[in-house]
């Protein structure tokens, strides 16, 4: 029997105040009725990418699967640009792709995941095919989209949150997560998320990995120098209090206000940008995917 990581029969001890960032503005800013995940593909949604990686590696099994990667061509610290392309392409196909395209990408990811498993030297046991580990990763991805959407468009009502959530299961089912594993409602997702966050734990090695990530140590100094401070600010801003505390990161109320005001400004600017600029990257990635499928080329 596969190991069970989250017991949903137990009432979660953590609350949203600990496991979610705070978005105070409820004023709607440039949004449509009944938003869904396709509305979350604005390029600013990826501003929290490093924070999302940090959340994912909060589970030690995911952390060591990433840090001990046996697929050098896809390792974040060795080939950051390729990893960025394959990850964003995964998100694009999970949200915009057909069932056939998702199946093709799933098989491509499976080829890499077959090599990602612990060995006798690993401090924790992991296997990239473990569906519960994939469910945690997919849940982190959903959190990132929901948080960035609310920062850009204002806090969603309960009804809008439910509508936004309903097409999100493909973030997991494009991997090995089954439909019945994905929480059925947004309220069910809250229970899963708060319970799963009880397992979050960073050790010295995963904290160093996080520091290398936000320090952009995987890319050349002339490129990282202008962006490092902004990335660190954005990353800490997108991390819930629980993760900041475990990573020993300082974040004040003034920081939070600056963070939210930044997104109010970005939202105002975005209003005047055509959709092909705001969302064009995801559609270009889908064109690239379809070209690769048509030519029988490697997808990742």
Question: 85-94, 217-226, 234-243: which range is least confident on average?
Answer: 217-226
Question: Residue 238 above 90 pLDDT?
Answer: yes
pLDDT band at 30 (very low <50, low <70, confident <90, very high): low
In this structure, the number of other CB atoms found within 10 A of the CB of residue 300 comes to 18
Compute CA distances 152 → 188, 207, 228, 263, whole Å.
25, 29, 22, 6
Question: Residue 280 above 70 pLDDT?
Answer: yes
Tokens of 107: 């098989």
Q: Quote the percentage of the chain above a pLDDT of 70.
A: 94
The domains of the chain are located at 31-295
* Exposure of 153 in the CB half-sphere (CA atoms within 13 A): 24
**How far is 149 from 163, CA to CA, in rounded Å?**
13
Confidence at residue 8, expressed as pLDDT on a 0 to 100 scale? 83
Confidence at residue 272, expressed as pLDDT on a 0 to 100 scale? 84
Question: Residue 231 above 70 pLDDT?
Answer: yes
Question: Residue 3 above 70 pLDDT?
Answer: no
SS3 of 70, please? coil
Question: 61-65, 124-128, 279-283, 294-298: which range is least confident on average?
Answer: 279-283
Q: For the chain, what's the residue count?
A: 300
pLDDT band at 29 (very low <50, low <70, confident <90, very high): low
**Which residues lie across from 127 on neighbouring strands?**
117
**Which residues lie across from 244 on neighbouring strands?**
none
Confidence at residue 1, expressed as pLDDT on a 0 to 100 scale? 35
Does residue 115 or residue 52 have the better pLDDT? 52
Confidence at residue 247, expressed as pLDDT on a 0 to 100 scale? 97
Residue ranges in the chain assigned as alpha helix (H): 16-19, 49-56, 60-67, 80-96, 99-113, 131-153, 158-165, 170-173, 186-196, 204-214, 221-224, 228-238, 241-246, 253-270, 275-278, 280-295
**How far is 121 from 124, CA to CA, in rounded Å?**
9
């Amino acid at each position: 029997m596969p190991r069970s990581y989250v017991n949903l029969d137990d009432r979660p001890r953590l609350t949203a105040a600990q496991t979610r960032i705070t978005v105070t503005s409820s004023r709607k800013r440039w949004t449509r009725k009944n938003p869904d995940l396709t509305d979350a593909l604005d390029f600013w949604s990826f501003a929290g990418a490093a924070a999302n990686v940090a959340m994912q590696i909060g589970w030690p099994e995911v952390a060591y699967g990433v840090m001990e990667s046996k697929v050098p061509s896809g390792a974040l610290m060795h080939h950051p640009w390729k990893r960025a392309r394959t990850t964003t392409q995964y998100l694009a196909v999970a949200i915009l792709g057909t069932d056939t395209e998702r199946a093709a990408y799933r098989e491509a990811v499976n080829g890499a995941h077959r090599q990602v498993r612990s060995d006798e030297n690993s401090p924790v046991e992991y296997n990239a095919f473990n569906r519960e580990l994939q469910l945690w990763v997919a849940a982190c991805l959903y959190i990132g989209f929901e948080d960035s959407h609310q920062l850009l468009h204002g806090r969603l009502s309960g009804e809008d949150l439910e509508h936004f959530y309903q097409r999100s299961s493909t973030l997991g089912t494009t991997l090995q997560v089954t439909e019945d594993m994905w929480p059925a409602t947004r309220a069910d997702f809250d229970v899963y998320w708060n319970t799963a966050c009880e397992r979050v734990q960073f050790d010295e090695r995963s904290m160093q990995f996080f520091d290398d990530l936000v320090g952009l140590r995987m890319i050349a100094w002339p490129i990282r120098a202008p962006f490092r401070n902004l990335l660190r600010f954005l990353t800490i801003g997108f991390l819930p209090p629980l993760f900041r505390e475990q990573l020993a990161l300082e974040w004040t109320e003034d920081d939070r206000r600056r963070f939210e005001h930044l997104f109010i400004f970005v939202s105002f600017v975005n209003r005047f940008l055509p959709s092909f600029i705001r969302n064009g990257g995801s559609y270009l990635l889908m064109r690239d995917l379809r070209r690769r499928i048509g030519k029988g080329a490697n997808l990742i």
